DNA sequence: GTTACATTTGACAAATATTGTCAAAAAGAA
DNA sequence: TTCTTTTTGACAATATTTGTCAAATGTAAC
């Protein structure tokens, strides 16, 4: 699975844009965008949607990548992570279709 | 699905323990434990394992509840939450059995 | 209804984590 | 080299989390 950062960098380079160009539009330093692309920092949700606009990437796809990384970050190193994910999934499905 | 807080409160009351007793063992104010039990605050991971010990609850089960709530907290209000969960699950399964 | 405790509430403080800047170092391409 | 881009790491600003405390509320016995 390609990481969110990889998707962003790939696309930025394909469009011939420099960190300088894109980070200016995001209103942050190039250092942060560099780190986001290499997975050293997490982007904010707002940055992700802006990046989708700037780089003409499908917003939903990018958001799904981003959110799933956020989820995985929460359960990193947890032996019970997979089971927690399954419980979360059941809970959300139950809540969405029924009740609450 | 019963919440983590509900499980804790139920068990504490069944054992005839007061907030005062349990919060002292956790080294926090009763106010926080009260909030945790009612879902107004999240516990820390350490508090969860201590609570399992104090209340003689199955540690794994309680942790799974706790982690799944943490996950759901991250994607609350997100339309793409379910899809993100599925991607996360696939990623973790892939990583656990193969690669990396 | 008053006393004695248990729990809850909310304002605030402390601690921790996140998000950012900046300047210097490293990497690339003439 | 020189010019430009990217990366690195120390640090600052900000936001979030975690906690205390005191007062308010709830509960039960008397």
Chain A hits for B74, CB-CB cut-off 8 Å, are 67, 70-71, 74
Nucleotide D8, nearest residue via CA and C1': A31
Domains in chain B, start-ordered, CATH in brackets? 4-97 (1.10.260.40)
Protein residues closer than 7 Å by CB to strand C: A 27-29, 31-32, 41-42, 44, 47; B 18-20, 30-31, 34-35, 37-38, 40
Q: Which of A1, A54, A2, A45 is nearest to A23 (CA)?
A: A54
Q: Is the CB of A92 under 7 A from strand D?
A: no
Read off the pLDDT of residues B46-100 as tens digits, 9 standing for 90 and up.
Answer: 999 999 999 999 999 999 999 999 999 999 999 999 999 999 999 998 876 554 3
Give this complex's ipTM: 0.90
Over the stretch A61-99, which tens digit does the pLDDT of each residue have?
A: 999 999 999 999 999 999 999 999 999 999 998 877 554
Cβ pair B89, A82 in contact under 8 A: yes
Contact present, B26 and B51 (Cβ < 8 Å): yes
């Amino acid at each position: 699975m390609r990481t969110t950062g990889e998707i962003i960098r790939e696309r930025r380079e394909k469009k011939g844009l420099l960190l300088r160009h894109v980070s200016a539009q995001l209103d942050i330093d190039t250092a942060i965008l560099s780190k986001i692309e290499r997975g050293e920092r997490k982007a904010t949700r707002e940055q992700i949607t802006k990046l989708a606009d700037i780089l003409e990437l499908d917003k939903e796809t990018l958001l799904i990548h981003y959110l799933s990384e956020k989820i995985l970050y929460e359960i990193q190193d947890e032996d019970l992570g997979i089971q927690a994910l399954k419980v979360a999934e059941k809970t959300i499905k139950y809540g969405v279709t029924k009740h609450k």
